Amino acid sequence: MNRIKLGPLATMSSASRTEFDFESRAARPRSNSSEHSVFIPLHYEKNYAYPLVVWLHDRGADGGQLADVMSVLSLRNYVAVAPRGPDAVSGVGFDWSQTARSIEQSDRAIAAAIDDARQQFNIASQRIFVAGIGTGGTMAFRIAFQRPEWFSGVLSINGAIPSGSTPLVRLNACRRLPIFWTQCRDDERFSESELAMQLRVLHIGGFQVTLRQYPAGNQRNLILPDADRWMMDLITRPATTAS
C-alpha cells in the first residue's frame, strides 16, 4: 500500500503521464506492497466521518495517479483509495480488462481497499463513491452495477458502460445509484455516438444520470471540480421523507 498525504513537505516521485494528462505521482512506498494507494485529507479529523472515493486509473497508469487527482478534486473533503488494475500493460503500467478473471480480481481489490480505509480511518459507510477514467471508468461502472449496495454513486470520466457478462443483471438494485458521467468530444476511444447510444439504455432503465460534455480531453481542471460539486451535493442533500 502507498500512503499519500499531500502537504507542503510531501515527498513525491514522478511517473509517466496518462492520456488524461495527469502527471502520476506516488508517495514513496513504506513496504514492498503496491496494491493500492491511500490519500489522507489535509487536517484529517478522526472524529469526523469522511466520504470515501475509490479511484480507478486509466490504462497504462497505476494507483500513484491518486495524488494528482485529489490535488484537483479536493484536498480536504475525502479520504481516497486507488487500487491498481489487475492487468499489466507492457512497460507502461496496468489496466482493467473486461475478462471474467479481471472483473473478479478488480472486485476483490476494490473490496480490500475499502476495508483497509475503514480500518484505518473514520469513513461514512453510506458515502462511498467509485470513480474512474477511461478503462477505469468502465470498471467503475461494472463494479457499481455489480455491487450497488456498496456505493452512494458512480463517476465515469470518458469510460463507456461495459459490455458482456450482463453488467445490468441487477437492474432493479442499480436504478437507485446516481451516476456522474463525462465525455470529451475529441476522445477517440469513447465517441459521442457511443455515448448517445449508451445514454438511451440508461434512460430506458430509469437511472439517475448527470451528464457533462467537454470540448477536449485534457479538462481535468473542469471535470474534477464538477465531480466534487456533484458528490458534495449528494452528501449534503437533506434526506427525503415519505409522504
pLDDT digits over 191-206, tens only?
899 999 999 999 999 9
Contact of 12 with 25, CB cutoff 8 Å: yes
Residue 240 DSSP code: P
Torsions phi, psi for 25 (to 5 deg): -135, 145
Query: For residue 214, which phi and psi values (nearest 5 degrees)?
Result: -130, 150
Region 65-79 average pLDDT: 96
In this predicted structure, the answer to whether residue 240 has a pLDDT above a threshold of 70 is: no
Q: Is the pLDDT of residue 16 over 60?
A: no
Dihedral sign of CA atoms 216, 196, 106, 130 in order: positive
pLDDT computed for residue 34 by the predictor: 52
pLDDT digits (tens, 9 = 90+) for 174-191: 999 999 999 998 888 898
Q: Is the dihedral of CA 141, 145, 146, 148 positive or negative?
A: positive
Helix axes 135-146 and 100-120, enclosed angle (nearest 10): 80
DSSP label at residue 29: P
Put simply, whether the predicted model's pTM sits higher than 0.75 gets the answer yes
* Strand pairing report for 79-83 and 36-39: antiparallel
Helix, strand, coil share of the chain (percent; to 5): 35, 25, 40
Q: Please give the residue that has the higher pLDDT: either 165 or 30.
A: 165
pLDDT band of 242, cuts 50, 70, 90: very low
Please give the Cα distance from 185 to 158 (Å, whole number).
Answer: 10
Task: Report the candidate in 218, 217, 216, 236 with the shortest Cα–Cα distance to residue 228.
Answer: 236
- What is the per-residue pLDDT for 19? 35
Q: Which three cell numbers stand for residue 44?
A: 484529517
Beta strands (DSSP E) in the chain are 2-4, 12-17, 23-27, 36-39, 50-56, 79-83, 87-89, 93-95, 123-133, 153-157, 179-184, 209-214
Q: How far is 119 from 174, CA to CA, in rounded Å?
A: 27
> Residue 138: what residue type?
T
Length of the chain: 243
Q: List the Cα angle 129/132/135 in 5-degree steps.
A: 145
CA 228 to chain centre: 12
